[in-house]
Amino acid sequence: MNIYSLIGFTLATLVFFVGLRLASEDLNIFLDYPSLFIVIGGTIAATAISFQLNRILFLLKVFFERVIQGKKFDYRQTVQEIIQIAESYRKGESLNQLANNCSDPFLKECLELAAEGVVEAEELQDTFLDRAEKTLYYHLEEAKKMKTIAKYPPAFGMMGTTIGMIVLLANLGGEDAIKMIGPAMGVCLITTLYGVAIANLIITPIGENLSDNAKEIFLKNQIIVDGVGLLLNKTNPILLSVKLNSYLEAKNRIDWKKAIGRA
């Protein structure tokens, strides 16, 4: 479980509700079902028109895997696995066998193509680096969809407010008209509140999280591309670990002797 993301969402929710509570002791004044229907229903409808809903559901699944399950990429583990594979290959183990034992699909594809022997190491690196860049572009475009969706709740919030204002003005009249304006205006503005809250506390953070995920995938794939290139050239394990450790923070760098069991 990604505790830091959960803390962030909990903090955002707490700030929102504490803000409402400080504004009024009666939280029921902030509850309006027609406003919720307009904002949430309108957002879903606009999303369905703009994008395929199944893709949005898939993006939400990716997000919850990162937040709830804490599914993030461990670059250190990737580097360590490549160092171990490189040492096994240097000792004569076949690439096909090494590929079968890979935990990462991208690394497995690289090794399987290398095992075919149809491309040189440099060409293989170029091919898979190009694939990594295209994957990054694709994932960033998917994340942009969530950021686009974040525009809809405030827009429907304003629409709800406009509807409320029309109803309010249409019913003004009589001796109690002045007394009705205050409460009625409050109800009108609730839809705007819902729209802003949903966009900025839920949808926009999800979009940013997906963008971060895309960049993590690209860096992981870049490590693999460089590592496989060094592996195919049977680079000295010390030099290989030095080059791959460049992707890691100093505190996370790997001792190549421990990685291959020489320590």
Amino acid of residue 90: R
Q: Domain range holding 129?
A: 32-259
pLDDT of residue 117: 80
| Residue 9 domain-assigned (yes or no) | no
pTM of this prediction? Answer: 0.81
Amino acid of residue 39: V
Tokens of 248: 């890691």
pLDDT of residue 222: 95
Q: Quickly tell me which residue has 């690394």 as its tokens.
A: 107
Dist CA 32 CA 17 (whole Å): 15
| Residue 10 domain-assigned (yes or no) | no
| Residue 19 domain-assigned (yes or no) | no
Dist CA 57 CA 218 (whole Å): 22
| Residue 208 domain-assigned (yes or no) | yes
pLDDT of residue 259: 67
> What are the per-10-residue average pLDDT scores of the chain (263 residues)?
74 89 86 90 92 85 74 84 87 87 90 86 90 94 91 94 82 67 74 93 89 92 92 84 89 77 59
Computed on alpha carbons and rounded to an integer, the radius of gyration of the chain in Å comes to 27
| Residue 63 domain-assigned (yes or no) | yes
Task: Give the three-state DSSP class for 2.
Answer: coil
| Residue 15 domain-assigned (yes or no) | no
Q: How many domains does the chain have?
A: 1
Contacts with 245 (C-beta within 8 Å, 6 or more apart), sequence order: 79, 253, 254
Dist CA 241 CA 84 (whole Å): 10
Closest CA to 84 of 104, 54, 114: 104
Dist CA 174 CA 186 (whole Å): 20
| Residue 251 domain-assigned (yes or no) | yes
Dist CA 193 CA 172 (whole Å): 24
pLDDT of residue 158: 93
Dist CA 154 CA 150 (whole Å): 8
Q: Quickly tell me which residue has 């304003």 as its tokens.
A: 158
Q: Quickly tell me which residue has 């079968």 as its tokens.
A: 100
Largest Cα separation within the chain, whole Å, is 95
Closest CA to 64 of 180, 186, 146: 146
| Residue 2 domain-assigned (yes or no) | no
